[in-house]
Amino acid sequence: MPVERALPTAEAAELLELTRDLAARELAPRAAEMEAASEFPRELFRVLGKAGLLGLPYPEEYGGGGQPYEVYLQVVEELASAWLTVAEGVSVHTLSCFPLAAYGTEEQKARWLPDMLGGDLLGAYCLSEPESGSDAGSLTTRAVRDGDDYVVNGTKAWVTHAGVADFYNLMARTSDDGPRGISTLLVPADLAGLESQPPERKMGLKSSPTAQIVFAGVRVQAERRLGAEGEGFAIALSALDGGRLGIAACAVGLAQAALDAAVDYARGRRQFGSAIIDFQGVSFLLADMATGVAAARALYLDAARRRDAGRPYGPQAAMAKLFATDTAMKVTTDAVQVFGGYGYTTDYPVERYMREAKVLQIFEGTNQIQRLVIGRALAKG
Ligand SMILES: Cc1cc2nc3c(=O)[nH]c(=O)nc-3n(C[C@H](O)[C@H](O)[C@H](O)COP(=O)(O)OP(=O)(O)OC[C@H]3O[C@@H](n4cnc5c(N)ncnc54)[C@H](O)[C@@H]3O)c2cc1C
């Protein structure tokens, strides 16, 4: 069943068409081989940048696409159906541009945002540390003011695009006042003392480099601080609300790809003289998979439309991330089941989808943390 999209404008419909073409031509044919080789497709991000897909939800006056979030997310979903590494990369880049776009001064935005949205540069987001993951407010990387600079010392962990990014959004401690002692700095990747470590050896999403970044006496100009001193944690959380919707869209795209592969296979595979899709045990499994994907899509679109309308959407984003990523885990696992023994081999993509789905339940706040966000909102009333 083709995905039917309710898009707000003809321009958005064209954008989705362009994305589908690009994903089929440039992403899908390369995904399996490059994932197996753990190669990062840097050149593909330039192709996406030229097509205008690296700054979609930001204002056109700064070089963005001026698209509502609901459209941007459907683009991410299409990319994820073809190759999760690329969709996640677009989501992380978009997240990394948010602090400047939302909290920068007019002068800062005019100076740096057009290049960041222009398609040539790639961003990364540095919040997590080896000893502070879910409890991100306890981070210890220090930025100490020294004249016109901050001097940064510490280690950031799990940085997506570490070593390949052109700029890093860094959350660092500028005072001992807990989460209120954190500030955001926009750090160019080529500063002396900033060193990316060897990439983590991961279960999936292997083409997307994830590594620690060590900051050893890195001097960052104070004019690169975004927002006020101490505002960094609030900025980080606000960026994550939007980022979680990006992950939800990634999850829906991945789950849709697994569903499509499973339906195709079940139509063609015969046992006991019938196509296996004619066995109710298989078709009910596929029906549940399709229902989960449609529900997850509806949930992220609802949260995106709230965001586009300027309404609070944090708990809804957490619900979308939680439900969509749990659905992706279930749907990809069930897709392997539909393929039987063949599903457990690398001859078909579903084993990779299953490995890739797992991380979606972990990053940008584990699904336990999403429940915490939703539960707190319920408690507040
Ligand atoms: C591939 C990958 C890419 C990533 N990319 C980035 C990135 O670009 N930038 C970035 O900053 N970070 C990134 N991360 C880090 C990611 O956001 C963290 O791994 C995540 O927030 C969890 O932190 P942790 O790994 O330290 O786990 P912990 O916080 O140590 O959690 C361990 C377990 O305890 C549970 N737990 C913790 N606290 C609670 C609680 N209060 N209630 C219930 N359960 C709890 C967690 O849910 C989890 O199951 C990435 C991680 C991965 C794996």
The position carrying tokens 């994903």 is: 23
10-residue block means of pLDDT along the chain (381 residues)?
Answer: 86 96 97 98 95 96 97 98 98 98 98 95 98 98 98 98 98 98 98 98 98 98 98 98 98 98 98 98 98 98 98 97 98 98 98 98 98 97 88
Cα–Cα distance, 69 to 56 (Å, whole number): 8
Residue nearest to atom 32 of ligand 1 (CA): 134
Instruction: Please give the radius of gyration of the chain, using alpha carbons only, rounded to the nearest integer.
Output: 21
- pLDDT of res. 69: 98
CA dihedral over 179, 184, 185, 186, signed as positive or negative: positive
Name the residue type at position 275.
A
CA dihedral over 96, 235, 373, 309, signed as positive or negative: negative
Question: Which of the listed residues 131, 362, 371, 376 should we mutate to test ligand 1's pocket, taking the one with most ligand atoms within 8 A of CB?
Answer: 362
Instruction: Decide: helix, strand or coil at residue 162.
Output: coil
- pLDDT of res. 1: 72
Spell out where the chain has E strands: 123-126, 142-146, 149-160, 167-173, 182-188, 194-196, 210-221, 225-226, 270-271, 274-275
The answer to whether 358 and 203 have CB atoms below 8 angstroms apart is yes
Cα–Cα distance, 30 to 24 (Å, whole number): 10
Name the residue type at position 99.
P
Residue nearest to atom 24 of ligand 1 (CA): 133
Cα–Cα distance, 77 to 71 (Å, whole number): 10
- pLDDT of res. 6: 81
Q: What are phi and psi of 152, to 5 degrees?
A: -105, 130
- pLDDT of res. 348: 97
* Residue 368, H or E segment: helix 367-380
Check pocket membership of 359 for ligand 1, CB cut-off 6 A: yes
Check pocket membership of 212 for ligand 1, CB cut-off 6 A: no
Residue nearest to atom 26 of ligand 1 (CA): 133
Check pocket membership of 158 for ligand 1, CB cut-off 6 A: yes
- pLDDT of res. 328: 99
Residue nearest to atom 19 of ligand 1 (CA): 363
Check pocket membership of 363 for ligand 1, CB cut-off 6 A: yes
Atom nearest to 364 CA in ligand 1: 17
Atom nearest to 92 CA in ligand 1: 8
Give the HSE-up count for residue 98: Cα atoms under 13 Å, Cβ half-sphere: 24
Q: Per-residue DSSP letters for 306-360?
A: HHHTT---HHHHHHHHHHHHHHHHHHHHHHHHHHGGGGGSTTSTHHHHHHHHHHH
pTM of full prediction above 0.75? yes
- Active-site positions read 364
- pLDDT of res. 3: 85
Cα–Cα distance, 98 to 317 (Å, whole number): 16
- pLDDT of res. 179: 97
